[in-house]
Amino acid sequence: MPEDGSSPVYLDGEEWQAYFRTFKHSAFRLEVHQTYTMPGEAEAVRAFLAGEPKPEDFNAPWHETIRVHAAAGRTMTRAKITRRPLTPYSRYLFEWCIPGNVAAGEDYQIVDLTDRPNPGLPEQDFWLFDETTVVHLNYRPNGTQINRELIQGPDIGKYLAWRDIALESAVPFSAYRT
């Protein structure tokens, strides 16, 4: 149920993709899960775990999206919560996904909670667009996405505080050692 008690608004397909084309200033993602089970990534994760080489054009469309935003002065930032030992999926992210995102211009931060308590971050993945629009990414315990829910009338201050806590607790991906 949405935070404000109204009917949920779920985003999919073109309606969801539009958020990544139309944000004006910033897009921030908090990633809290250690495993994501996304059908579109299944083959890539399988190949990574099998020790196959990363394809040369791996994630090229997403990298182009990041480059276009970076060139226009728009920021894309993520804060990824991790715990060691890294899950196989997190290893896949760290070796195949995140380096290309960073090279394309995404600011990827790591919040390692292995040896410290949670600094007050939620157990909820979300995107925050232009500090005004919040979309929850809802997952089952196994990392399978249930839906993407546009939060109507969000308490923006709460999401901004979570973003700030995450970034204050993080180190840049380039400085993180597993």
pTM (2 d.p.):
0.94
Q: Give the model confidence (pLDDT) of 95-142 as tens digits.
A: 999 999 999 999 999 999 999 999 999 999 999 999 999 999 999 999
State whether the Cα torsion 95-97-103-108 is positive or negative.
negative
Q: Residue 3's pLDDT is what?
A: 54
- Say which residues have a Cβ less than 8 Å from residue 151's Cβ, sequence separation at least 6: 2, 3, 4, 126, 134, 135, 136
- Say which residues have a Cβ less than 8 Å from residue 100's Cβ, sequence separation at least 6: 58, 59, 63
Q: What tokens were used for 73?
A: 């002065």
